[in-house]
Every structure is written in C-alpha cells, then in structure tokens.
Amino acid sequence: MNIGEIAKRAGVSRSTVSYALSGKRPVSTATARRINEVIDQLGYRPNASARALAEGRTRTLSLVIPPAGRRLTDVQLGFVASVVEAAATYDLDVLLSPSGGDHDRSFERIVTGRRVDGVILMEILLEDARVARLEQAALPFVTIGHVERPGASWWVDVDYEALIRRCVHHLADLGHEHVVLVSRSDELVAAGYGPALRATAGFLDVAEQRGLTGHVVCCADEPGAGQACFEEIRRNRPEVTALVTINEAALPGLQRALHHSGLHVPRDLSITGVIAKRLAEDFSPPLTAADVPAEEMARLAVDLLVERIADPDATSRHALLEPVVSLRSSTGARPR
C-alpha cells in the first residue's frame, strides 16, 4: 500500500495526499477529511526510505557509543536512554552506532551513506579521528565533552575541573591534609580523555592553593581495579584521609575494599567526587558528590543537534554544566 493507493481511493491526486499529510499546502476541508478517512481505515504511513530520498533528510540521528571494550558506565547508559527519549519528542529515530575497535565499517556507513541527519558523539578524546571525519563529511554533530580549544564546535559537557575544585575545597574546609584523586584508566588518560585531565588539573591546583598534599592515581574502569587501588593507597599512603573519585566503574570494588578494611566512612575516611546520582545514593554510606546530570545533557545535546541540522551555518553553541555538589553522608572532619 502506498500513497497512490490512498489517492485513488480518496479520488484525488498523489500530490494532494502528500500535502494533506504535510500541511505544506492548504487542502479543502472536505478533501482533507476524505483523505484522512482512507488513511485511518487503511492504517497508511509513508514509506520512510522513499520520503528520506525525496526530502533529502532521514529524520534519524546517530548516537555513537564508546568502544564496547570499555563497558558503559551507569552515567553513559542513562545518557543513551535519555537521548532516545529526547529525540522522540522531535519525532526523530536514533541509530545506535558502535565505534572504535573493528567498528569502522559501522561508523563509515553512517557518515558516508547519508544514513542520518546528524550525530551525537559520546566520550570524545582531545584528539579524535571521528570528529575530524564528521567535519570533513560536513555532517552536523554535537559532542559530549569538548576539546582544549573548541573553536566553532557544538558540544555539551560537565565542568569537571570546577566540580573537582569544589570537592577539594570542601575537604580542605573539613581539615583534611592528605588527599588522593582516583582517576580513570591509564590508557584513557594517555589517549587524552578530557574529564580525567581536567579533573587532575583542578585537583592539583586547589590542593596546592590550600596547602594539601594531593596525589593522583589512575584506576582501570572496573571493580577489581577499584579494590586494588584502595588497598594500595592504604598501604603506601596511610596518612591519606580523603578520596576524590571520578571513576564510577570502580566504585563497587571501593565499597568492597572499604568493607574489608573495617574503616568507617566518614569517621575514618571521607569520600567525594563526580558520580551519577543513582550510584552515589546506592553507596554505603551515600556519597557526597556532584551528580552528573545525564538526562539534562542528553536533552541539551539533542536540542543543539536539531538546531544545527536546521541551520548548518549557524554560529556554534555549547553548554557547560556545573551541577551542585550534593551533601550526603560520606564526608566529615579529618580524623585525629
């Protein structure tokens, strides 16, 4: 069943059916009613491929997710669901595309095949081949995260540096003198992962400014590493009384190690950082932390992308979010 069939049954031309559907040309009330009756009766809906070909747009976005090797963190997953939700409000579909590893074919299919109207790129690196590729292909895109000098790019990010600065100030206010930042994995940092680099910068700067001893440790994105990392800190730096973390995936291991150590939080040790709300609340005790607003970021990313698609030559826009630090139960005065 196609538009011709509808036209025939409604006794009008195909163009009239098309215009009745799109509203791009006035159609007499009587005709419109007749057309709509036939459409409802037959449950007709335009073929998406034909429409995309004729219109030159697919009404589809691509969400490029990080390489599957790295498991998605809770924040990232919430983000995926939220992007789908936000896109749905624009009647846009979302193509989930893997990248990295042996997924170049998938990414190229999206980019060159004109498969989508725009792309949202998660977890970009400071130097990112995919960004260059999208620019070259002149495909509208928005990144989650931003590079050092963003230039004319469109992005949404959380201000990791500012948030970590706040966390360290908070710990300094509580009298802590020896603090550690639990960062992301070595490889990620080496690859130039912005949030980790900026968190480190903010951490070290405020530590110095407030006269604290601050150390940064990289930790692989998995519970086991979190546990090992904690044990190493206890062994090598027993003077440390507070942890700042941006590593969500390691949290369960941290919890386990904490449990085994018999340490009480926050009496013996304070913990804070940038953590998804759900994870912070599920920790025992609930973590004082900056909640990454994944839903808001998703919403903003889709809004920006829709705007950029509508006007590819518009001046670039971005949003740098600075969520509040929620005081829960994991930070307290330095033990003496």
Partner DNA sequence: CTGAAAGCGCTTACAG
Q: Which residue, 49 or 315, is less far from DNA as judged by CB? A: 49
Positions in 54-73 near DNA (CB under 7 A): 54-56
Residues 6+ apart with CB under 8 A from 269: 240, 241, 242, 243, 258, 263, 335
Tokens 């090598």 found at = 236
- To the nearest whole angstrom, how small is the minimum distance from the Cβ of residue 66 to a copy of itself? 10
Q: Which residue, 168 or 182, is less far from a copy of itself as judged by CB? A: 182
**Binding residue for DNA (CB under 7 A) from 33, 37, 42, 53?**
53
197: number of CA atoms within 13 Å, CB side?
A: 15
| 39 forms part of the interface with DNA (CB under 7 A) | no
Q: Which residue, 51 or 334, is less far from DNA as judged by CB? A: 51
Helix (H), strand (E), coil (C) string for the chain: CCHHHHHHHHCCCHHHHHHHHHCCCCCCHHHHHHHHHHHHHHCCCCCHHHHHHHHCCCCEEEEEECCCCCCCCHHHHHHHHHHHHHHHHCCCEEEEEECCCCCHHHHHHHHHCCCCCEEEECCCECCCHHHHHHHHHCCCEEEECCCCCCCCCCEEEECHHHHHHHHHHHHHHCCCCEEEEECCCHHHHHHCEHHHHHHHHHHHHHHHHCCCEEEEECCCCCHHHHHHHHHHHHHHCCCCCEEEECCCCCHHHHHHHHHHHCCCCCCCCEEEEECCHHHHHHCCCCCEEECCCHHHHHHHHHHHHHHHHHCCCCCCCEEEECCCEECCCCCCCCCC
Q: Which residue, 32 or 188, is less far from DNA as judged by CB? A: 32
- To the nearest whole angstrom, how small is the minimum distance from the Cβ of residue 34 to DNA? 9
Q: Which residue, 85 or 205, is less far from a copy of itself as judged by CB? A: 85
Q: Which residue, 51 or 133, is less far from DNA as judged by CB? A: 51
| 24 forms part of the interface with DNA (CB under 7 A) | yes
From 15-23, 103-111, 303-311, 315-323, span contacting DNA (CB under 7 A): 15-23
| 3 forms part of the interface with DNA (CB under 7 A) | yes
User: 247 touches which of a copy of itself, DNA, none (CB within 5 to 8 A by kind)?
Assistant: none
- To the nearest whole angstrom, how small is the minimum distance from the Cβ of residue 22 to DNA? 6
Smallest CA-to-CA distance from 155 within 322, 46, 297 is with 297
- To the nearest whole angstrom, how small is the minimum distance from the Cβ of residue 306 to a copy of itself? 16
| 203 forms part of the interface with DNA (CB under 7 A) | no
Residues that bind a copy of itself (CB under 8 A): 43-50, 52-53, 58, 60, 63, 65, 68, 71-72, 77, 80-81, 84-85, 88, 91, 93-98, 103, 105-106, 108-110, 112-115, 223, 252-253, 255-256, 259, 278, 281-282, 284
From 44-52, 100-108, 134-142, 280-288, span contacting DNA (CB under 7 A): 44-52
| 50 forms part of the interface with DNA (CB under 7 A) | yes
| 25 forms part of the interface with DNA (CB under 7 A) | yes
Whether the bond into 266 is cis, omega within 30 of 0: yes
Q: Which residue, 53 or 327, is less far from a copy of itself as judged by CB? A: 53
Give me the residues that bind DNA (CB under 7 A), please: 2-4, 11-16, 18-19, 21-22, 24-28, 30-31, 44, 46-47, 50-51, 53-56
